[in-house]
Amino acid sequence: MQRTPDAVADAPLPEPPLPTAEAILGEEVPPAGKKKRLGVGAWLAIIWIVGLLLAAIFAPLLPIPEPTEVFPEIARKGPTAGHLLGGDTTGRDVLSRIIYGARASYAVGFGAVGFGLVIGGAIGLMAGFFRGKFDAIATPAMNVFLAIPQFILALSLVTVLASQDGVTGSRRLMVVILGLGIVSVPLLGRITRANTLTWSEREFVLAARAMGAKNGRIMFREVLPNVIPAMASIALLAVGIAIVAEGGLALFGAGVQLPTPSWGNMIAEARTSMRRAPHTIIFTSIVLFLTVLSLNYLGDVVRQRFDVREAAL
């Protein structure tokens, strides 16, 4: 028997302490509307990515030759006047192919991750918010997907989806986007679910419910805006991964189809003449490297700015 008599020993006259302080409004308030600035690195990354994007979009207006035009005199030659980055094995302008290649590479990177964000995000948001049966099915399914080696999965998907004869270049591009997109669904879905779970537990969600908000409203207006920074941070990393993955697929002949240039198939094509004309592979790789670096760096900046904890990866 636990009894501690001295705890409740002397009963004094009840004297309720009445704090009667007046509503003093001297509370300290930080000034509103002050924002952290982006660093130089972040600006450089943004300039690089957006600059390449603009160049890719407006490529026909730039003073560069067509990416498929062959100049026999510059085949396997390094930078010369008029062809700043030289020519590739068959004499096509490397600079032009890099800029036009950005179209396919960006399309693959952002397209695949966009697909993953929409599908995976929707699954993750619903699983994390409603939990219950939907979560019990969706989450194990995503885990099973994650257990399959990602690259093998993407390769098989692309091979199966593009197996018919006479697949056109743009169709092949769609297939690559879809294949890599499907692979990214469980990854982005899990991140979204983990973040949704923690945010849904917050009191403001209950407060919104206690003010009469419906589930859909709570999910999209209260929870989703809080989850988006985490999703954006991972998505930026994923774009870089998808661009590199396309290069991997290209090595197996499953990437974007030639003659449409992509950084992946340029590297794959140039690797046969690496000894005699290394500049093609080097220049393309540098561009690829800088792009992925910029994306990763921006992902980090987003994560730091919004203090997203890497809850689950």
Partner 1 sequence: MSSAQVIDGAQPTGVPGAGPLLQVSHVSTEFPTPRGVVHAVNDVSFTLERGKTLGVVGESGSGKSVLSRTIMGLLPRSAQRSGEVVFEGRPIHDLDSAGYRSLWGTEMAMVFQDPMTALNPVMKVGRQITESLRYHLDMDKSEARETAVALLRAVRIPEAERRFNAYPHEMSGGMRQRVVIAVALACGPKLLFADEPTTALDVTVQAQILDLLAEQQRDRYMAMVLVTHDLGVVAGRADEIAVMYAGRIVEKAATKVLFREMRMPYTEALLNAIPKLGDPSHTRLAAIGGRPPDLVDPPKGCPFSPRCPYARERCHEERPELTPSESNPDHLYACFYPVGSPETEEIRVRIQAQRLIDSAPPEVREAAAEHPGGQG
* Site residues for partner 1 per CB under 8 A: 1-12, 14-25, 27-33, 202-204, 206-214, 217, 221-222, 225-226
Q: Which residue has 């006259």 as its token pair?
A: 13
In the complex with partner 1, which residue's Cβ is closer, 6 or 165? 6
Q: How far is the CB of 197 from partner 1 (least distance, A)?
A: 14
Q: How far is the CB of 15 from partner 1 (least distance, A)?
A: 7
Nearer to partner 1, 2 or 164 (CB): 2
Candidates 93, 90, 103, 119; CA nearest to 235 is: 119
14 vs 63 by CB, closer to partner 1 = 14
Phi, psi of 178 (to 5 degrees): -65, -45
| Cβ distance to partner 1 smaller for residue 10 or 165 | 10
Find the shortest distance in angstroms from Cβ 148 to partner 1.
33
Smallest distance, partner 1 to C-beta of residue 23, A: 5
**158 and 249 in contact (C-beta within 8 Å)?**
yes
The distance of closest approach from Cβ of residue 156 to partner 1 in the complex, given in angstroms and rounded to an integer, is 40
Nearest distance from C-beta of residue 176 to partner 1, angstroms = 35
Tell me the residue type at 60.
Answer: P
